[in-house]
Chain A
Amino acid sequence: MLYAILCYHDEDLVGSWTKEQDAAVLKKLAVVQDKLAKQGRLGPVARLLPTTSATTLRKDDPPVVLDGPYAETKEQLLGFYLVDCNNLDEAVDVARDLGAANPGGAYEIRPVGLFQPGEVTK
């Protein structure tokens, strides 16, 4: 079974880490990741850019594009896509196409800052 592990934290707080603090955390995480990678169990790892760079598509009829992250709590995170796009316009278009196939709810569109493709072999 593949498991997704979703990372939550206080963005203000993480943004207040010094470069050294940030690097220290990444270094410790890398140790854990390396172990998993050697066992062929590590899939893609992504660090998203801050929520200030987020855009949300509400899949209403018609769909509405809003600046900022998805802020409601009455819906739950059910899945995610990683799509290669040249710009935000393209990403919003992809989300619209997906939304047309599956209306209701919302898509939050976030640029990815760091991406390691990873490889699951088992």
Chain B
Amino acid sequence: MTDTAWIDAALTSARPQAVGALLRYFRNLDTAEEAFQNACLRALKSWPENGPPRDPAAWLIMVGRNVAIDEVRRSRRQQPLPEDEAISDLDDAEEQLAERLDGSHYRDDILRLLFICCHPELPATQQIALALRIVSGLSVKQIARAFLVSEAAMEQRITRAKARVADADVPFETPGAVDRSERLSAVAAMIYLIFNEGYSAGGDTAEIRGPLCEEAIRLARLLLRLFQSEPEIMGLTALLLLQHARAAARFDADGALVLLDDQDRSLWNRQLIAEGLALIDKAMRHRRSGPYQVQAAIAALHARAAKPDETDWTQIDLLYGALEIMQPSPVVTLNRAVAVSKVRGPEAALEMIEPLSSRLSNYFHYYGVRGAFLMQLARNDEARIAFDRAIALANTSAEAAHIRMHLDRLMRDSAPRNTKAVK
């Protein structure tokens, strides 16, 4: 691996801890971020020459803090900067600092950082943008691209989020136990949203939005290391891993969505599946179920099926039933209906989703699923109406293309029978 690639990876992995610690010193997001940037610049100069430090995060914290303090002094006294070596030469200091950074500080610093990004006064879109900028260290340009908005708009969104955090007078002290568990679920939800932003991208944008899924997984693993015994965080991480494992099989060469049943399962990432299955297995031992665990358990049943017809739909139906109780929502019922159609047939499934029509009247998937059930029942005219409505409501071109494929099949099937007989 080249020097710069190694340094990039080291800076990325050290970032949450380093920015978190710098935030503890400076109690200001901008100052902490700037201090980290300055430390990174010095690392790019110093590491290739002197070799990597034993603890990159400790090095970055120390250098970032020194540079920032020095800038304050300089602006006060108008003195010239000290030599680079004086700031970056900290073999002994690094060792001492590394000692103090163990356990609790590490945990609290990263938590504080995550909690600030998930401040309850911030709308979800700002939470996500702030976390990707501050915790993950993505550039404004990268984030803007992933969210398909202009760089200026994203810059503004992040600036607003920072201003709100500053105005809200965020406590920089370590949050108490109650705060922790409340904010923990907010952080989990934020990570889940980042993942969904990437996951719901169409085939045409999957390449630029896909990295959001990987970033969400990285954040989930980070959170899991801080909360090692939280089954829901294990469930969340497992869920993201199992969903993302199918990434390579989810779109065809033209960018159209490929449904689970039609995916080439040899393209699924076995390594991610193994990790996801291990985590959900570990979570279930706690016998404290929750929505992320149930969704991960459903994803696990799909992952375990070597072929679509080996899927344990009965168990999936039961799990969706459990999810309906935990998180009643028409969308959950809609998903359950798909399992029901496999277990008890399309008629029962159609009956199940009939009452949802008013609440899901603007929901693409409702009409897609409804059309599919009707098609299975050979009620082709009604199916066509449902599919037409689905296309009108499609969020991405991949979704629309997928439905059009069904319509084409309907057209073929309902063509006059005698044309088939003519040879």
Spell out A's residues near B (CB within 8 Å).
10, 12-13, 15-18, 21, 24-25, 49-53, 55, 66-68, 87-89, 92, 111, 113-114
> Interface digits, B221-233 against A, CB 8 Å rule (1 contact, 0 not)?
1001100110000
> A108: shortest Cβ distance to chain B, in Å?
13
Q: Which chain A residue has the least Cβ–Cβ distance from B222?
A: A12
- Tell me how far the C-beta of B136 lies from the nearest C-beta in chain A, rounded to whole angstroms: 11
Chain B 202-239 against A: per-residue CB contact (8 Å), 1 yes, 0 no? 00000000000000001001001100110000100100
Within the complex, the shortest CB–CB distance from B43 to chain A, in Å, comes to 14
Query: Which residues of the other chain, A, contact B299 by a CB distance below 8 angstroms?
Result: none
Q: Which residues of A contact B421 (CB under 8 A)?
A: none
Query: Contacts A15-B218, A21-B5, A52-B224 hold; do A113 and B281 have CB atoms under 8 A apart?
Result: no
**Pair B271/A50 contact, Cβ less than 8 Å:** no
Q: B1-41, CB under 8 A of A: which get 1 and which 0?
A: 10001000110111000000000000000000000000000
Of the A-B pairs whose beta carbons lie under 8 Å apart in the complex, a sample of 15, sorted by A's number, is A12-B14, A13-B9, A17-B9, A18-B9, A21-B1, A24-B1, A49-B278, A50-B221, A50-B275, A52-B237, A66-B229, A88-B281, A88-B285, A89-B285, A114-B271
A18 to B228 CA separation, bound complex (whole angstroms): 25
Shortest CB-to-CB span from B278 to chain A, Å, is 4
Q: In this assembly, does B322 line the interface, its C-beta being within 8 Å of a C-beta of chain A?
A: no
Q: Determine if A111 and B274 form an interchain contact, defined as CB atoms under 8 angstroms apart.
A: yes
Query: Knowing A15-B218, A16-B13, A87-B281 touch, does A67 contact B229 (C-beta < 8 A)?
Result: yes
| Chain B: CB-nearest residue to A19 | B214
Interface size on B, residues (CB 8 A): 24
Shortest beta-carbon distance, B300 to chain A, in Å? 11
B278–A53 CB distance below 8 A = yes
By the criterion CB–CB under 8 Å, are A53 and B1 in contact?
Answer: no
- Which residue from B12, B225, B271, B279 sits with its C-beta under 8 Å from A113? B271
A67 touches B274 (CB 8 A): no
A67 and B228 form a contact (CB under 8 A): yes
Residue of B nearest to A13 (CB): B13
Find out whether the CB atom of A13 lies under 8 angstroms from the CB atom of B10: yes
Given contacts A12-B13, A15-B13, A50-B221, 15 further A-B contacts (CB under 8 A): A12-B14, A16-B10, A16-B12, A25-B1, A49-B274, A49-B278, A52-B221, A52-B237, A52-B279, A67-B229, A67-B282, A88-B282, A88-B285, A113-B275, A114-B271
Known: A50-B275, A51-B225, A67-B229. A21 touches B282 (CB 8 A): no
Q: Closest CB of chain B to A3's CB: distance in Å?
A: 26
Complex contact B282–A55 (CB within 8 A):
yes
Instruction: Tell me whether A16 and B218 are in contact (CB under 8 A).
Output: yes
Considering only CB atoms, which chain B residue lies closest to A56 in the complex? B228
A residues within 8 A CB of B56?
Answer: 13
Complex Cα distance, B280 from A1, in Å, reads 39
A55 to B283, CA, bound (A): 11
Please report which residues of chain B, range 233-249, place their CB below 8 angstroms from some CB of chain A when the two chains form the complex: 234, 237
Within 8 A of A (CB), among B246-295: 271, 274-275, 278-279, 281-282, 285
A residues near B5, Cβ cutoff 8 Å: 21
Q: How far is the CA of A66 from the CA of B13 in the complex (A)?
A: 26
A52 contacts B1, C-beta separation under 8 Å: no
Residues in chain A near residue B1, CB distance under 8 A: 21, 24-25
Known: A88-B285, A89-B285. A53 touches B279 (CB 8 A): yes
Query: With A10-B13, A16-B218, A25-B1 known to touch, is A68 a contact of B228 (CB < 8 Å)?
Result: yes
A53 lies within 8 A of B13 (CB) = no
